[in-house]
Structure 1
Amino acid sequence: APWFPLGQVGGVPVRIHVTVPLTTLLGGGQAGHLDGYGPIDPATARALALGGTWKRLVTDPLTGTVLDLGRTRYRPPPDLAELIRLRDKTCFRPGCGARASGCQLDHTIPFARGGTTAWENLGAACSVDHPLKTDGHFHVRQTTPGIFEWTSKRTGRTYRREADGTTTPLNPRTGQPLTPPEDA
């Protein structure tokens, strides 16, 4: 009979997915979950986690929706992608009305530079504005999930795309919203 190293079948590493609450890893009694099987007792969950490669996934405690994959995957899973598009409603560039449902998802801090595939680092980008950001014509910051500040490399002007899709010009010196002059 052929012999295979432990953890391999046909020379290919075996991959199992076990979800273990942090409290269980710390000795608590909450069950883990083995994909394709179901609940497993806490001791088995701890034993499987002990010998495995860990990947952090942050989930919404109410829905179980993945909110953050850390640096384990570039492309977000469908549930996270849907949440980003629902949150943003339109392209993340101030003044762009392209519907988010037809947009690509962009890492605010590029994945290649350490950015995570996460709720607070993704935004809906249309096919026109995504390259403008990626090619360096604008510096983009996501100050809060769904709020994006775009600074033009050419003019130095900054515009904030608010969560409701409106645009706020910002004072280049203070970073505060520009206010129209008061009537005298």
Structure 2
Amino acid sequence: MHAHKMALANLWGEMLPQFNNVAGSLFDYGSSRSFESLFERVKNNPSLAFFAAETRLKESEIRLAKTQQQADIDWSVGIRRNADIDESALVAGFSVPLFAEKRAESAVKSALAARNEITFRQQDFLLRIHTQLYQAYTAREQAITSATTLRQSIIPQLADALTQTKTAYQRGLYSYLDLMGRAQGVSFPGESG
């Protein structure tokens, strides 16, 4: 009994049971929400926020790679002194990297591929969660329908059949063996239905 209480406390997020008795109804299933509203709640999963943060990071890497496609023109100005001939000269220079766009193209493609990979992983995650949630949702709905059918239709009919069998036994129409067999759902040779 203590193990069951411990398991129930653990299910409720507690290490030790903080209760002595538990009361409830097996036939109180709670309110049903639509599948769509449940899936909307799943979209607030922290794992999806992680995908969004990772996507923002990859977008910034794409922007950085695109800035490297543009050639940075470097220039310099200075004075050069030649001590041998006792002269000074003004020197100016500039440099332009050639083919900067071509060199940075692979970095841009790599950054785009990394961002697309995150998008595909996010879509895959959503599809898997959607499938799992739908399976759980339909299993719950089916279980509620089965339990309701049992409670409202099948169990009352079985209880009525058992009452009729007991009454027939009490009137002497069945032997004790017949009563026990009927109560357990066993049919005997020569019986119909």
TM-score range, shorter chain: under 0.3
- The one of the two structures with greater contact order (alpha-carbon pairs below 8 A, sep at least 6) is 2
The structure with the largest helix share of the pair is 2
Normalised to the residue count of structure 2, the TM-score between the two structures is 0.21
Considering only CA atoms, is the larger Rg found in Structure 1 or Structure 2?
A: 2
